[in-house]
Structure 1
Amino acid sequence: MALAISGIEELLGDDADKLLNHTCTTIPKEKLHLPSGSYVDDVWYHSDRNNRVLGNLEWILNHGRLAGTGYLSILPVDQGVEHSGGASFAKNPAYFDPENIVKLAIEGGCNAVASTFGVLASVSRKYAHKIPFLVKINHNELLTYPNTYDQIMFGSVQKAYDMGAAAVGATIYFGSDESSRQIVEVAEAFEYAHELGMATVLWCYTRNSAFKVDGKDYHSSADLTGQANHLGVTIGADIVKQKLPTNNGGYKALNAGDSSYGKLDERIYSELSTDHPIDLTRYQVANGYMGRAGLINSGGASGSDDFADAVKTAVINKRAGGMGLISGRKSFQRPMEEGVKLLNFIQDVYLNDEITIA
């Protein structure tokens, strides 16, 4: 049974009115290219994407419970590399077996499953034609001592194509010492992926110890993540994945005192955003060419109230004009039945016509 608006309101608790009844007065929704059942024809068709890319984008958008809506619910499980297999799967060792990852995505009604070369290749003949594969082509590994933080290639675009993938994904740590190399690597990989007919998804993460100023963390500030999104779509991402913004003013904090970092305009803060989470997320959407590249927000780490957190993130993303959620740990670090329920709760937000664009 789908989660009704009353159930969504209950999960949102004290935030229900703030999130469900907010009106955005910064960037009007009429300026956005919003998700819809004809999104591929309305938006991507006018780009330089070839017919095979358009076909794979159409396949992804027309698979799972959200088929035909223009919205996405993607299960990402690359944590075996990014966070170590033991730390990621100790809560639920069944997910050491890649087949269970794909089964969760299918049972959960997802549009696609995103994982590593190894995970998806190990079951590709059985499942690559049953659910769109999104192959993550680079990772940050945590075995080097001391730990280093860099995204390095783990395989080739050609290999992803050969296993039948519909899309490739990559991460860039914008703002890091290694970002220039990562930008070049990923831009070249995405160009080749498009030539072969695969869609492209970019994890547009910020990373630099300097982004923590006076005890406040600006890695998820709307202005810095928004610019990361803008760089991501510039190098050919069809869809960008970004953390939900938690604050704003990263540029201002980094320019305090005598420092000079980047470029800013005060209207970013006074006219294009407010401190409301929906307005902050809309600024992220705007930086993706006003929605010409879809914004999917990450579900975040598993915590004490995952169902409420997931629904809240989905409401913010949808009402901001985003394209959906890519949520992993909240779903696979629990029994499959509960994981499916959580994924369905997220999808129910996008299926509910009472939750409108702010």
Structure 2
Amino acid sequence: MNVNVEANLASRPKLQDFKNYNRSEAILKKLYSMLYVNGPGHGTFLSLPFDQLIEHGTGHLFKWRRENPTPEEIELTGRGCADPRAVAELANAGGYSAYVLHPGVAAYASNFVKPDLPLIYKIDGRLNQPDTASIQSVIGDIKDAVNLGATAIGTSLYPGSDMIRKDMERVATVVREAHANGFPAVVWAYARGEGVDNIKDTLYWTSTACTLAASMGADIIKTKYPAPVTDKNRDEYFAYIQSQEKKVKGIEKYLEFEPEKGEQLSHEQLVERVTYLTDAAPESFMVVSGGPKIKGNAKEELVEQTKVVMEGGAEGRIIGRNFWGVPMEEALDLTSAVKEAMKDTKYRRAFSRGTFTFK
């Protein structure tokens, strides 16, 4: 199996296409700033999110504390890397396409982050304690985003639970309001809910989430890396897909992309999986998350994942804990490695496509 990067990129949207999506010039200029001016450029995207603490709570703070910081260090960057001041320092130095913050943190960090670095204002959030919520709460508003000089509005969509009907209406409203006020809409799209907890990051559910987000009008979709099944969730995933065969003809095809027990998928097979995400949302830009904190050789894993994502046609990555969850020098080294992988000329995106001719 050979990877045809050119063919995979051919199905992706061009920035100029968004003129035909009824997007304003203000939205196009903000997208241009993130995709072409900042970050790796050439139509690619690498963002630094710091929105995890509202979801995971403060349980992680202890592992991110520095040993014996001086008062001067504490004043500048806090006691550890999970401090908004430390994240701001990384954001300023890393050369990202954008950074992501919730309202209160965005207001605080505006004292430290360079004003020309695009802010994605995450308008909603949720806490996973005591139980994982299947819908997010809106905790910000568009006027606040305007006052903070934000570049885009971020919101989350969670298919997979009984809350999805209400969630679709909520997200559609956020997207409409963002567009009406000249903001691109960035939709976090991945499955959540009791019925899918063990299979939420599988290829079927990630691609389904992407399709829904595109249907809501997402300009950029942030989704999960489509994880192959493991021995722990194989039976549940196969049973779910098979249970849907009568209602959804052809869904059983998804099972062909999973590894046999004890097998590992090849690089080419992983790339093919990503093409099913990008094909699920050809009208939206797509970025793939960095996932949980990587154990072992983080640089090697992040670069390999990035190559898979980019070869599959996605526009880029959004990586949080694997960047800001390590010391500054290491974070910049990891960032540089990922950006270099993304700057390969074969991943560059034209601003516009050729025009159709009619005989």
Same fold at TM > 0.5: yes
Equivalent of 1:56 in 30, 51, 62:
30
Structural mapping, 1:48-127, within 5 Å: 48-67=22-41, 69-88=42-61, 90-92=63-65, 93-124=79-110, 127=113
Deviations 1:163-222 (A, max 9, x none): 11000111111112222222111110111111111111111010133336xxxx421222
Structural mapping, 1:32-43, within 5 Å: 32-33=11-12, 39-41=14-16, 43=17
Pairwise CA distance, 1:343: 1.3
Q: Residue 339 in 1 paired to residue 331 in 2?
A: yes
Q: Is the 8 A contact 1:89 1:333 kept in 2?
A: no
Q: Which amino acid aligns with 2:3?
A: T
Q: Is the 8 A contact 1:349 1:355 kept in 2?
A: no
Q: TM (normalized to structure 2)?
A: 0.80
Q: Residue 181 in 1 paired to residue 166 in 2?
A: yes
Q: Residue 172 in 1 paired to residue 157 in 2?
A: yes
Q: Residue 23 in 1 paired to residue 3 in 2?
A: yes
Change in 2 beyond 3 A, CA 1:195/1:256: same
Q: Which amino acid aligns with 1:288?
A: A
Report SS of the residue matched to 1:169.
strand
Deviations 1:241-267 (A, max 9, x none): 11111237987531436x778624158
Q: Is the 8 A contact 1:78 1:116 kept in 2?
A: yes
Q: What residue is the counterpart of 2:192 in the other structure?
A: 207
Q: What residue is the counterpart of 1:18 in the other structure?
A: none
Aligned counterparts of 1:30 and 1:125: Cα–Cα separation in 2: 39
Q: What residue is the counterpart of 2:276 in the other structure?
A: 283
Pairwise CA distance, 1:23: 2.2
Pairwise CA distance, 1:117: 0.8
Identity %: 24
Equivalent of 2:301 in 294, 309, 322:
309
Q: Which amino acid aligns with 2:225?
A: L
Q: Residue 129 in 1 paired to residue 148 in 2?
A: no
Q: Which amino acid aligns with 1:180?
A: R
Q: What residue is the counterpart of 1:348 in the other structure?
A: 340
Q: What residue is the counterpart of 1:152 in the other structure?
A: 137
Q: Is the 8 A contact 2:175 2:218 kept in 1?
A: yes
Change in 2 beyond 3 A, CA 1:73/1:88: farther
Report SS of the residue matched to 1:75.
strand
Q: Is the 8 A contact 2:125 2:137 kept in 1?
A: yes
Q: TM (normalized to structure 1)?
A: 0.80
Gapped runs of 5+ residues in structure 2? 66-78, 260-264, 350-359
Q: What residue is the counterpart of 2:69 in the other structure?
A: none
Q: Is the 8 A contact 2:135 2:163 kept in 1?
A: yes
Q: Residue 236 in 1 paired to residue 236 in 2?
A: no
Aligned counterparts of 2:106 and 2:124: Cα–Cα separation in 1: 14
Change in 2 beyond 3 A, CA 1:193/1:118: same
Aligned counterparts of 1:225 and 1:146: Cα–Cα separation in 2: 21
Q: Is the 8 A contact 1:111 1:132 kept in 2?
A: yes
Change in 2 beyond 3 A, CA 1:309/1:70: same
Aligned counterparts of 2:276 and 2:216: Cα–Cα separation in 1: 19
Query: How many residues are matched?
Result: 322
Q: Which amino acid aligns with 1:244?
A: Y
Pairwise CA distance, 1:126: 5.5
Report SS of the residue matched to 2:239.
helix
Aligned counterparts of 1:84 and 1:350: Cα–Cα separation in 2: 32
Deviations 1:82-121 (A, max 9, x none): 1113415632443454232222122111010011111111
Deviations 1:292-330 (A, max 9, x none): 311100001112222122111100110000000000000
Equivalent of 1:47 in 10, 21, 24:
21
Deviations 1:132-174 (A, max 9, x none): 000111111245x456453111111221122110001111111
Q: Is the 8 A contact 1:136 1:170 kept in 2?
A: yes
Gapped runs of 5+ residues in structure 1? 1-20
